[in-house]
């Protein structure tokens, strides 16, 4: 194998590794949640360390309030109807004087439990899976940038397939000329 062939082979291996990595990230962060009705969030603080450090992508699936038990990791609104959410572990499950469910929560790294109990209306869902640090990528990239990135990936893949096709055709032509010549 000559140097040119080795470089070409190395380039193809590197390209496929990048393609597989990007495909995996897109699948984990976007495709799976969309297809399953789950929602991706990003952990912004250290309250769930060491398991879920800041920058962790956490994917949350809907859960019925009566299925939640102590130890479940929930994502919930800090205030009902408000967009700010937090992901903490359930430390207690109980009912108030009216028989309504209430959940005590606490971040794994926090010394004290959360001051307010969580009501079912605040719950966005339970943690389905998480990927440490992948959330940094999704936090940094805005919706417009994601779209541009997707276009660049598609164009890149099309260009790569075009180069591969042309290269294969050229190699076939050279083999045919060598065979006939």
Q: Which one-letter DSSP state was computed for residue 122? A: G
Q: Which residue would you say has higher pLDDT here, 91 or 131?
A: 91
Which of 147 and 117 is assigned the larger pLDDT? 117
Whether the predicted pLDDT of 140 surpasses 70: no
Q: Identify the helix (H) or strand (E) that includes residue 47.
A: none
Rank 16-25, 67-76, 126-135 by mean pLDDT and report only the highest. 67-76
Burial class for 70, CB neighbours closer than 10 Å (0-12, 13-18, 19+): exposed
113-127 exposure pattern, b = at least 16 Cβ within 10 A, e = fewer: ebeebbbbebbbbbb
Sorted by where each begins, the domain ranges of the chain are 9-158
In CATH, 9-158 is 2.60.40.10: no
CA distance 44 to 54: 5
More confident residue, 141 or 154: 154
Q: Which residues contact 160 (CB under 8 A, 6 or more apart)?
A: 15, 19
pLDDT given for residue 143 in this prediction: 62
Beta strands in 26-173 (DSSP E): 39-42, 57-61, 73-77, 85-95, 101-106, 123-131
Residue 125 pLDDT exceeds 90: yes
- Residues 18-71: tens digit of each pLDDT: 878 877 777 777 777 778 889 999 999 999 999 999 999 999 999 999 999 999
């Amino acid at each position: 194998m000559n140097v040119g062939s080795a470089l070409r082979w190395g380039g193809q291996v590197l390209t496929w590794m990048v393609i597989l990595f990007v495909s995996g990230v897109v699948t984990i962060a976007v495709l799976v949640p969309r297809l399953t009705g789950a929602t991706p969030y990003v952990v912004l603080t250290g309250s769930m360390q060491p398991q879920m450090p800041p920058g962790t992508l956490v994917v949350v699936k809907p859960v019925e309030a009566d299925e939640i038990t102590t130890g479940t990791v929930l994502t919930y609104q800090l205030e009902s109807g408000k967009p700010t959410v937090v992901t903490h572990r359930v430390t207690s499950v109980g009912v108030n004087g009216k028989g309504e469910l209430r959940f005590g929560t606490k971040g794994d790294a926090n010394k004290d439990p959360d001051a307010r109990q969580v009501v079912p209306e605040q719950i966005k869902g339970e943690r389905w899976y998480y990927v440490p640090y992948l959330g940094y990528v999704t936090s940094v990239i805005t919706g417009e940038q994601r779209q541009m990135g997707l276009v660049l990936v598609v164009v890149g893949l099309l260009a790569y397939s075009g180069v591969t096709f042309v290269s294969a055709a050229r190699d076939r032509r050279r083999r045919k000329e060598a065979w006939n010549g």
